Amino acid sequence: MSHSFPNHPPEPDAAVRLDGVTKQFGAHVAVSDLVLAIPRGSIYGLLGPNGSGKTTTLRMIMGILRPDRGSVTLLGDDSNGSARQRVGYLPEERGVYKKMKVIEHLEFLGEIRGMTRAIARQRAMTWLERLGLLRWIGKRVEDLSKGMQQKVQFIGTVLHDPELLILDEPFSGLDPINQNVLEEIVRDFHARGTTIVFSTHLMDQAERLCESVCLISRAEKVLDGDLREIKRRERSGAVAVDYDGDAGWLHGSDVDAIEHTASGVRVQLRDGGDPQALLQAAMSAGVKIRRFEIVEPTLHEVFVRHVGDETAAEAGLPSPHEGTGGAA
Amino acid sequence: MRIVMAVIRREYLQRVRSKWFVFGTIAGPLFMIAIFAISIVFGLRDEARERAIVIVDRTGVLYEGVASRLGESLEVERVEFSEGVEAVLESRIENREILGVLLLDESTLSAGRAVYRGVERPSTLRVVWIRQAVVESALEVRLQGASDAGGARALLDGGEVEYQALDGEDPEANDRRAALVVGFAGGFVLYITLLVYGIQVMRAVLEEKTTRMVEIVISVVRPGQLMLGKILGVGAVGLTQLGIWVLSFLLLLTFGLPYFLAARPELLAIQNAAEFIPQAGGLALFGVFFVLGYFLFSSLYAAVAAMCSSDEEAQQTQMPVTILLVLPMMVLAPIIEDPHGPLGTWLSLVPFFSPILMFPRFMAGAPFWQVGVSLLLMVVTIVIVAWIAGRIYRVGILMQGKRPTLPEIVRWVREA
């Protein structure tokens, strides 16, 4: 099952690079021969259904698991080195030291990333203020509401101003307010040049946030690259046209099928058919064009096209409309 | 190192500040002090109300002996017998002028009987004490007529039975026996502390799992560092606790004991107990066995915790480790009987049993080379156990859910 597009030439300045990484648990192959280069400064989505190997991949990037084969380079270092201190990692299993005070919990997380306690405290205060938790500073974490605990988790992840953020299913389990808070933090860090990698099984969310993506299914990479480029490549030759006037122009030689929609038509072109020619035909027929759009596939459609509908369903990939997280 | 320090610090502060620690550590010494204080207060109160005991000696020969024997801690007053003196004395007792009246007559001399009149029942101890004074004085008086009164008096002061071994065992053997008892008390203390702090390490390791913090921490702190930090952090808590206890015990001995003895002179014998506190060498060895034993068992308990996901599960899984601690306690009786026999010698060389068995045997005079060998074996075992435990830890710490089977653990150790 290799629908992989030819690999891009390796990025010279990748924040994370995986080279032929394989990980097995007993007889189960979790990740198979994965090659990845995550460009510095990008928002990168690691997409795939549950159980496809996303978490294992991220754990190998963080040096928590050692690959059986292949190599991992993290911020120019191998993933067992001190580079890990420059990463903000929010695992899917998000925890807090319940019995600790909020500020001490954050100080500890700063300290293990090599910060002094004083600086960690100062940064923690700034963040607590920004997220409106300043007056909870001396409370035990367990006394906070779940939503507030999630904010404390975000702060713990970004406290040390990481060069790279690795977030495993970061939006799952968040209430809409915290989804926005997290999205804002992500965009904020992105604007400052931080590389952001996150995994999700929600395609529409990835579509909104990511610049680059990697789709994986059943331990293998399906495709990866720049999201816009992927979509351009994956166009199916469909054009959506809303118009007023006679329909005669729609019967050109390039047109394969016509489907009527609520506002107009969806025209399926033959292989190699040129949308420009269709537009030309419409103009010369003198119809009034209200909308002319080259239809790009959704990520979900791309994924299904590559792994097949059955595999996608079997893998438990939600259809794009039943997901959560589309609030914003 | 900074990372390990952060882990140690967190572990230490969190524990030292917990209610459990404050209660357990402070309450222990407070309890001791309270017992001492209560005895002192009661003792002092007795003494403050102390009035004389009047001795009415109708024999005319007993007073000197009884008065000198009781006079050490009681005030005595002599009143000659006359008609109506009893009524006078009774009114003095009722007026709280005197504590009571001890009546000595012919039956005291012949059968050691005496009567004590008062309104406050004397303590059992005091009764025993008065009886002893009376009986000894009576015996003394009656022996005065005998030809060899001096020798008989020596008998009164108490005899001695000396043990002479047929095989020429050295005369210090008896002291060693006492030392062995002290040694086993030390072994017992080691057993309790290793068990308590081992379980604490287990809880500490489980904390990351139950709070789901493990992945965040492990992404920066290597599992080996985390395990070391946990063990050292809990160890520091243990030392703090023991330190507070030892310190308050010493303070009590230094400042409290004199008051205590002043209040309860009849308990003077407890001062002798100080003789049995092991000397510097023994204490140092105790420390060494504690530290080595702690590293050995805390690594094992850490590995157990790494395999489990909940406290309940860990409680079950820890059994084999705890059995290693309990086993030497079960063979303690035969070993006390014969500390240097084959059973004692061989078992005390098994590294897991050494702290509990070798320390008492050292106190009872085991050869230095055996102590040396046991220490060496313990160090080697610690290295091996720490290595294996570290590997189990590295894999197990991320596991949630099903507890691994033995073959799986073997695979972890090989593959980690």
Structural domains of chain A, ranges and CATH numbers in brackets: 14-231 (3.40.50.300), 236-294 (3.30.70)
Span B322-340, average pLDDT:
84
Position B402 confidence tier, pLDDT thresholds 50, 70, 90 = low
Of B236 and A49, more confident:
B236
What is the pLDDT confidence band of residue B343, given thresholds at 50, 70 and 90? Answer: confident
Mean pLDDT for chain A overall: 82
Q: Three-class SS of residue A183? A: helix
Q: What is the pLDDT of residue A101?
A: 92
- At residue A268, what are phi and psi to the nearest 5 degrees? -95, 120
pLDDT of residue A103: 93
β A195-200/A43-47 pair status = parallel
* pLDDT of residue A126 exceeding 90: yes
Q: What are phi and psi of B247, to 5 degrees?
A: -60, -45
In this predicted structure, the answer to whether residue A46 has a pLDDT above a threshold of 70 is yes
Instruction: Considering only the beta carbons, identify the residue of A95, A112, A156 that sits closest to B3.
Output: A112
Contact by Cβ (8 Å): A39, A14: yes
Confidence tier at A327 by pLDDT (50, 70, 90):
very low
Q: What per-residue confidence (pLDDT) applies to A205?
A: 81
Whether the pLDDT of residue A128 is over 90: the answer is yes
Q: How far apart are CA B183 and CA B362, in angstroms?
A: 8
DSSP output for B333-397: HHHHHSTTSHHHHHHHHSTTTHHHHHHHHHHTT--HHHHHHHHHHHHHHHHHHHHHHHHHHHHHT
- Tens digit of pLDDT for each residue in B379-395? 999 989 888 888 888 77
Residue B294's pLDDT is 92
Q: Chain B residue closest to A82 (CA)? A: B220
Confidence of residue A52 (pLDDT cuts 50, 70, 90): confident
The arithmetic mean of pLDDT across residues B264-276, rounded, is 57
What residues in B contact A87, CB-CB < 8 Å? 219
Predicted local confidence at residue A3, as pLDDT: 44
- Which residues of chain B approach chain A closer than 8 Å at the C-beta? 2-3, 6-7, 10, 13-14, 18, 207-208, 211-222, 398, 400
Give Rg (Cα) of chain A: 23
Structure-model confidence comparison of residues A280 and B197, the more confident one = B197
Nearest to A91 among B215, B221, B222 (CB): B215
Which residues have a Cβ under 8 Å from the Cβ of A193 and sit 6 or more positions away? Answer: A40, A41
Task: Say if residue A20's pLDDT is above 60.
Answer: yes
Looking at the complex, report in whole angstroms how far the Cα of residue A328 sits from the nearest Cα belonging to chain B. Answer: 28
Confidence of residue A127 (pLDDT cuts 50, 70, 90): very high
Arithmetic mean of pLDDT, A149-173? 90
Q: What is the pTM of this model?
A: 0.72
Average pLDDT over residues B238-262: 76
Cβ neighbours around B61 below 10 Å, total: 15
Query: Quick one: which of B354, B344, B341 has its CA closest to B292?
Result: B354
In this predicted structure, the answer to whether residue B43 has a pLDDT above a threshold of 70 is no
Least confident of A183-197, B78-92, B157-171: B157-171
- pLDDT attached to residue B46: 56
Q: How far apart are the first and last CA of chain B?
A: 23
Task: Write the pLDDT tens digit of every residue in A181-229.
Answer: 888 899 999 999 999 999 988 888 888 888 888 888 888 888 888 888 8
The angle at the Cα of A164, spanning A77 to A177, to the nearest 5 degrees, equals 160
What is the strand order of the sheet A28-39 is part of?
Answer: A28-39, A14-25, A69-74, A77-78
pLDDT in the model for residue A192:
92
CB A227 within 8 A of CB A220: no
Residue B219: which of A64, A108, A114 has the nearest Cβ? A64
Q: Pick the more confident residue, B27 or B194.
A: B194
Query: Residues of chain A with pLDDT > 70: what percent?
Result: 89
Chain A CB contacts of B14 below 8 Å: 97, 99-100
Among A119-133, A193-207, A294-308, B76-90, name the one with the lowest average pLDDT. A294-308
Query: A142: which chain B residues are within 8 Å (Cβ-Cβ)?
Result: none
Work out the pLDDT band at B297, boundaries 50, 70, 90. Answer: very high
* Closest by Cβ to B220, choosing from A95, A99, A112: A112
Q: Which residues pair with A69 in a beta bridge?
A: A22
Give the pLDDT mean for A62-70: 86
Q: CA A296, A298, A300, A303 torsion: positive or negative?
A: positive
Nearest CA in chain B to A62: B219
B238 neighbors A108 (Cβ within 8 angstroms): no
Q: Model ipTM? A: 0.76
Query: For B238-249, how does the pLDDT look when each residue is reduced to its tens digit (9 = 90+)?
Result: 888 888 887 887
What does the angle CA B356 – CA B204 – CA A103 come to, to the nearest 5 degrees? 145
**CA geometry: angle A280, A284, A288, nearest 5 deg:** 90
List the single best residue of B13, B19, B217, B219 to mutate versus A (max A Cβ within 10 A). Answer: B219
Mean pLDDT across chain B: 80
Q: Which of B5, B215, B309 to mutate to test the interface with A (most CBs of A within 10 A)?
A: B215
Does position B171 have pLDDT exceeding 70, yes or no?
A: no
Confidence (pLDDT) at A119: 93
Q: Do A64 and B217 touch (CB under 8 A)?
A: no
Tell me how far CA of residue A25 lies from CA of A28, A30, A61, A266, B264, in angstroms. Answer: 5, 7, 17, 47, 71
Name the β-bridge partners of A16.
A38, A74
Q: Which domains does chain B have, with CATH numbers?
A: 2-33+173-415 (no CATH), 50-154 (3.40.190.10)
Arithmetic mean of pLDDT, A102-119: 92
Q: CB neighbours (10 Å) of residue B324?
A: 17
Query: A–B: how many Cβ contacts below 8 A?
Result: 65
Q: What pLDDT score does A9 carry?
A: 47
pLDDT at A106 over 90: yes
Position A186, amino acid: V
Q: Do B289 and B187 contact (CB within 8 A), yes or no?
A: no
Element (DSSP H or E) covering residue A200: strand A195-200
Band (pLDDT 50/70/90 cuts) for residue B156 is: low
Which residues, at least 6 apart from B5, have a Cβ–Cβ distance to it below 8 Å?
B229
The SS3 call for residue A69 is strand
With 90 as the cut, is the pLDDT of residue A121 above it?
yes
Report which of residues B164 and B14 the model is more confident about: B14
The distance of B410 to chain A (nearest Cα, Å) reads: 13
Is the CB of B220 less than 8 angstroms away from the CB of A64? no
Range in A173-177, B81-85, B149-153 with the lowest mean pLDDT: B149-153
**CA neighbor of B381 nearest in space, from B373, B369, B393:** B373
pLDDT (tens digit per residue) in A290-314:
888 888 888 888 888 877 765 666 5
Give the position of tokens 């005899």.
B159
CA B317 to chain A, closest CA, distance in angstroms equals: 23
**Cross-chain Cβ contact A97/B213 below 8 Å:** yes
Measured in residues, chain A has a length of 328
Residue A81, min C-alpha distance to chain B (Å): 9
What does the block give as tokens for A271? Answer: 């292989």
Overall average pLDDT of the B140-150 stretch? 72
Q: Where are the alpha helices (DSSP H) in B50-121?
A: 63-70, 85-94, 106-111
Q: What pLDDT was estimated at residue A287? A: 83
**Encoded tokens for B34:** 């309270």
